[in-house]
Amino acid sequence: MNAVEIEEAVATLAVQPFDSTEFPFLFLAAFGNKETTLKRLRKGDSNASDIPNGVLQRNNIHIAVCQEGEVPATLKALRESPQTTQAKAKFILATDGAVLEAEDLASGEPIACNYSDFPDHFGFFLPLAGISAIKEIKDNPIDVRATGRLNKLYVELLRENPDWAKDDRRPDMNHFMARLVFCFFAEDTDIFTGTGLFTNTVETMSERDGSNTHEVLGIIFRAMNMKREERVTAKLSRWAGEFPYVNGGLFGGETDVPRFTRTARAYLYQAGQLNWKEINPDIFGSMIQAVADDEERGALGMHYTSVPNILKVLNPLFLVDLRGQLDSAGDNKIKLLNLRKRMSRIRVFDPACGSGNFLVIAYKQMRDIEAEINRRRGEAGLKSEIPLTNFRGLELRDFPAEIARLALVIAEFQCDVLYRGQKEALAAVLPLDAQNWITCGNALRVDWLSICPPTGMGVKLVADDLFSTPLDQAEIDFENEGGETYICGNPPYKGSQAQSPEQKGDLRAVFQAHQERWPSLDYIAGWFFKASQFLSVTDGQAAFVSTNSISQGEQVPLLWPLIFGMDHCIRFCHTSFTWSNLASRNAGVTVVVIGFGRRTARPKQIFESSAAGRVAVRQVGNISPYLIAGDNIIVQAASGRAKDKWLMLKGNQPTDGGHLCLSRQERDALLREAPNAARYVMRYVGSQELIRGEQRYCIWVKDEDRESANGIGPLAARFSRVAEMRATSKAPSTRPFATTPHRFRQIQAVGRDTTIAIPSVSSERRWYLPVDLLGKCTIVSNLAFALYDAPLWNLALIASRVHLVWIATVCGKLKTDYRYSNTLGWNTFPIPTLTEQNKADLARCAENILLAREAHFPATIADLYDPKTMPENLRHAHERNDEVLERIYIGRRFRNDTERLEKLFDLYTKMTATKLNAKQGKAK
Ligand SMILES: C[S@@+](CC[C@H](N)C(=O)[O-])C[C@H]1O[C@@H](n2cnc3c(N)ncnc32)[C@H](O)[C@@H]1O
């Protein structure tokens, strides 16, 4: 269940007659517990409660229903119950049907309310459903509720008006919803006079069956599009005269409204009953986006970006600078005035703005600074000089774009109320401004300079309809002549495999003249590149949130040289942290923030979050594209054998249609039928076999044994199937191999005695890369890499933390898994010169790791390297290995992964410089 569904279920429960026996189960059902779980609790099988009428769900909650007036005593009993502690309950809850009290046992946070009001606290209990809610949602669930109500209405209206669901009418539908949101907000904030003017008028004037609701709404919308002086002649219904002139484009144009059913009318009424005054424009917009997206609707209310995360972008981008200027201005009125002037010319531009959360937060933060300036200058209550129209956005989908405009209008009004007072805010809000801020369009196709013309060039075109921005509009009026432009946002990431043909086309349009390998780029690379192009001709900086892949692996050589080539640099970065949302049991994506702009000699900043969430900042001379302190070195793949290491090869590729590879059962069956085939059957090891210990086999026949193998019936049958598959393969390069069906298509090598094997893809959860030592008669598949008959110290290198950090950075990831590469990761891996003693020490460490594993036979690598349950002896063996290796690098242990990486890059720079010098020496 998502947060919206939970809120609905809780609200429904609260209005039902209180049933003391059923309440605990109904409560748990509202938070997504399945009927089977509840059945077991009901039967008492899994109910460990030691309190009368208590229900205790392990690891979750201890609930007790009590007699009237006994709630505080029952809560105390729950708190003190040994079973509460033993079952690791997160919450305790007591109710008598009149009042309800609960406590979050980890934080000690309590709630106490009338029973009927407990849905107001549903956010408090969200962890019961595996959802960790931010404080704003816990304290004020209006955003989730509004999302739920609007969603129900939207779905019901589309059901009743299927033509409005078609592509050509969807924008009308979305526009209609934006109008409703404005009306709900306006009637709760005195923008409309009287209480509940909008909802009450619809309730009074429309039939209960909904049949004329569309007409009533149409008249109200017409009123809001009509100046008072025009109303007399327009014969507007008298009852609509109460509604003010709003227009601003929002109520301009068509007043067409979809038809309502009785249910839709009821949903409209329910939505109107919420207190929209409290709506939070930085949260609400992101939550509601999914309403208009049929595929995304399941994720309703899950997506929001927390304010602290957005500030990780905006603070270092420009807000810290503004606040610094405010601090140094003190009470100096001239300096304060200069800062206010500077801010009035700042543009903030989000070229993938969704429902405008970055823009809203930037706006609110700047208004906060301006209010402080005005307070210090003795001008509190002064009209804001920060134009809302300087907060620009580009968004592909029309609904979020509509919501973004509204969110900014709401933010402006709320800031006016906060800093200037209700009266001034009301006087300023209507009619709405008709200028454009948000363009609905494709950011990789639209010329950004047409939306934010270069600073210093005055532009004077005011669009007349805020809500239908022409895409090709060349210039838009704005008031920041000579000001700075700050580009920000979290554009879509989309790795090269996940892009649609349209998105591939977008990337081609951006990159084809600059990077011939553009098809391998992430979609977000387009935003980085276009931002750099934009900043080459105007004053400002950019910062985006991105998956960390943009600073790892193959993205680095493809994208960053282009950006550095424009004489730009990374000005700050926030290294990997988790960007979570409201999805149930959500682990979040790992992201980075990268701020960039024209090259400057000023110090750069690297921000790093610790596991506990503390942020540390370092000033450095330069930030490399791998987001570490150091030069802009880019690691390039190197083929062949590296001078200081054993040759690593990719495994052997069968291309056999599955006929040369065998499961354990297939092998047993084959050997029962033809025991003399045994000498041609080998163990076969790829990623899964290495990590999960799965048993697979393959048929391995050397050329000289072909005839004898062919003499074994079941083998010959398999060879002929391989021949057929290869001969008819779609890939022309495979067909010639139909003549050698007894062997794999591509044979790299086979170990004489031992093979050190590493999976090509493995989970990022492990603290070390899974590497193993295989014995004789083992064939490594193309899903792994191998070192054949290599000394054991090589295994120590691969099993080290230093190596994992290098691989994660330079090879990048496949989704969230580490992707190994011999040419990019192993051959380039910088190691100090190893003495014979070093090698002997490392070999012993490798042996100890293998022995530690053996002590847990038959546990697999997956079992042993689970970070939560890794056995102590194995952890110790790895620690020892790291200790020995790191002492070889720097004479002590590294403090953290950052230090590891910085040392590795330092060595890599020297290593490649030496190579270059050697080459140049040869050329002379
Ligand atoms: C990750 S969301 C970020 C939105 C918002 N900042 C938030 O946190 O909810 C990315 C946004 O980019 C929009 N988008 C995707 N492709 C786009 C394109 N080619 N041009 C403009 N916007 C695009 C999506 O519709 C989505 O709203």
Query: In this model, does residue 474 exceed pLDDT 60?
Result: no
Query: In this model, does residue 404 exceed pLDDT 50?
Result: yes
Q: Is 299 in the pocket of ligand 1 (CB under 6 A)?
A: no
Please tell me which residue, 394 or 286, carries the higher pLDDT value: 394
Protein residue closest via CA to atom 19 of ligand 1: 442
- The reply to whether omega before 867 is within 30° of 0 (cis) is no
Burial letters for 585-602: b for 16+ Cβ neighbours within 10 Å, e otherwise?
eeeeeebbbbbbbeeeee
Q: Is 485 in the pocket of ligand 1 (CB under 6 A)?
A: no
> Residues for the chain: how many in total?
924
Query: In this model, does residue 585 exceed pLDDT 80?
Result: no
Tokens of 303: 């997506």
Q: Is 400 in the pocket of ligand 1 (CB under 6 A)?
A: yes
Query: In this model, does residue 270 exceed pLDDT 60?
Result: yes
What are the distances in angstroms from CA 515 to CA 10, 447, 559, 569, 890?
Answer: 54, 19, 8, 19, 39
Q: Map tokens 């059901």 to a residue.
A: 159
Q: Is 305 in the pocket of ligand 1 (CB under 6 A)?
A: yes
| Residue range 328-353: mean pLDDT, rounded | 95
Rounded distance from Cα 148 to ligand 1 centre (Å): 22
pLDDT at 458: 38
Instruction: Name beta bridge partners: 547.
Output: 591
Indicate which atom in ligand 1 lies nearest the CA of residue 310: 8
Q: Is 395 in the pocket of ligand 1 (CB under 6 A)?
A: yes
Indicate which atom in ligand 1 lies nearest the CA of residue 357: 6
Q: Is 393 in the pocket of ligand 1 (CB under 6 A)?
A: no
- Report the residue among 280, 306, 394, 396 best suited for mutation to probe ligand 1: largest number of ligand atoms under 8 A from its CB: 396
Helices (H), 16-100: 23-30, 35-43, 71-80, 82-86
| Residue range 728-756: mean pLDDT, rounded | 91
Q: Is 394 in the pocket of ligand 1 (CB under 6 A)?
A: yes
Q: Is 244 in the pocket of ligand 1 (CB under 6 A)?
A: no
Among 112-121, 444-453, 754-763, 908-917, the least confident range: 908-917
Rounded distance from Cα 295 to ligand 1 centre (Å): 15
> Based on the number of CB atoms within 10 Å of its own CB, is 52 exposed (0-12), middle (13-18) or buried (19 or more)?
exposed
Report the run of H or E that residue 180 belongs to, with start and end.
Answer: helix 170-188
pLDDT at 61: 94
Query: In this model, does residue 398 exceed pLDDT 90?
Result: no
Rounded distance from Cα 911 to ligand 1 centre (Å): 42
pLDDT at 465: 42
Query: In this model, does residue 923 exceed pLDDT 60?
Result: no
- Report the residue among 303, 348, 490 best suited for mutation to probe ligand 1: largest number of ligand atoms under 8 A from its CB: 490
| Residue range 89-115: mean pLDDT, rounded | 93
Encoded amino acid at 741, one letter: P
Q: Is 489 in the pocket of ligand 1 (CB under 6 A)?
A: yes
Query: In this model, does residue 579 exceed pLDDT 50?
Result: yes
Q: Is 357 in the pocket of ligand 1 (CB under 6 A)?
A: yes
- Report the residue among 353, 358, 487 best suited for mutation to probe ligand 1: largest number of ligand atoms under 8 A from its CB: 353
What are the distances in angstroms from CA 792 to CA 118, 724, 889?
Answer: 63, 42, 19
| pLDDT tens for each residue of 216-243 | 999 999 999 998 888 878 788 888 989 9
Q: Is 354 in the pocket of ligand 1 (CB under 6 A)?
A: yes
Indicate which atom in ligand 1 lies nearest the CA of residue 446: 20
pLDDT at 497: 86
Query: In this model, does residue 440 exceed pLDDT 60?
Result: yes
Report the run of H or E that residue 878 belongs to, with start and end.
Answer: helix 872-890
Rounded distance from Cα 480 to ligand 1 centre (Å): 25
**pTM of this prediction?**
0.83
Those residues whose C-beta lies under 8 Å from the C-beta of residue 162, and which sit 6 or more positions away, are: none
pLDDT at 582: 63
User: Rounded to an integer, what distance in angstroms lies between the CA atom of residue 549 and that of residue 546?
Assistant: 8
Q: Quote the Cα angle for 511-517-522, to 5°.
A: 70
Q: Is 861 in the pocket of ligand 1 (CB under 6 A)?
A: no
- Report the residue among 395, 445, 529, 546 best suited for mutation to probe ligand 1: largest number of ligand atoms under 8 A from its CB: 395
> Based on the number of CB atoms within 10 Å of its own CB, is 395 exposed (0-12), middle (13-18) or buried (19 or more)?
buried
| Residue range 391-395: mean pLDDT, rounded | 95
pLDDT range class, residue 307, cuts 50, 70, 90: confident
| Residue range 821-850: mean pLDDT, rounded | 96
Q: Is 820 in the pocket of ligand 1 (CB under 6 A)?
A: no
State what percent of residues in the chain have pLDDT above 70: 94
Q: Is 533 in the pocket of ligand 1 (CB under 6 A)?
A: no
Rounded distance from Cα 641 to ligand 1 centre (Å): 44
| pLDDT tens for each residue of 642-694 | 788 899 999 999 999 999 999 999 999 999 999 999 999 999 999 999 999 99
Query: In this model, does residue 113 exceed pLDDT 80?
Result: yes
Q: Is 443 in the pocket of ligand 1 (CB under 6 A)?
A: yes
Q: Is 170 in the pocket of ligand 1 (CB under 6 A)?
A: no
pLDDT range class, residue 464, cuts 50, 70, 90: very low
Among 378-387, 424-433, 649-658, 680-689, the least confident range: 424-433
pLDDT range class, residue 350, cuts 50, 70, 90: very high
Tokens of 288: 């509601």
Tokens of 923: 């050329």
pLDDT at 554: 87
Protein residue closest via CA to atom 5 of ligand 1: 354
Tokens of 259: 């038809």
According to DSSP, the β-strands at 91-95 and 347-350 are unpaired
pLDDT at 593: 97
Q: Is 451 in the pocket of ligand 1 (CB under 6 A)?
A: no
pLDDT at 471: 38
Q: Is 494 in the pocket of ligand 1 (CB under 6 A)?
A: no
Residues 534 and 566 sit within 8 Å (Cβ to Cβ): no
Q: Is 286 in the pocket of ligand 1 (CB under 6 A)?
A: yes
Rounded distance from Cα 350 to ligand 1 centre (Å): 9
Q: Is 442 in the pocket of ligand 1 (CB under 6 A)?
A: yes
Query: In this model, does residue 476 exceed pLDDT 50?
Result: no
User: Rounded to an integer, what distance in angstroms lies between the CA atom of residue 858 and that of residue 22?
Assistant: 47
Instruction: Give backbone dihedrals phi and psi of 861, rounded to 5 degrees, phi first.
Output: -60, -40
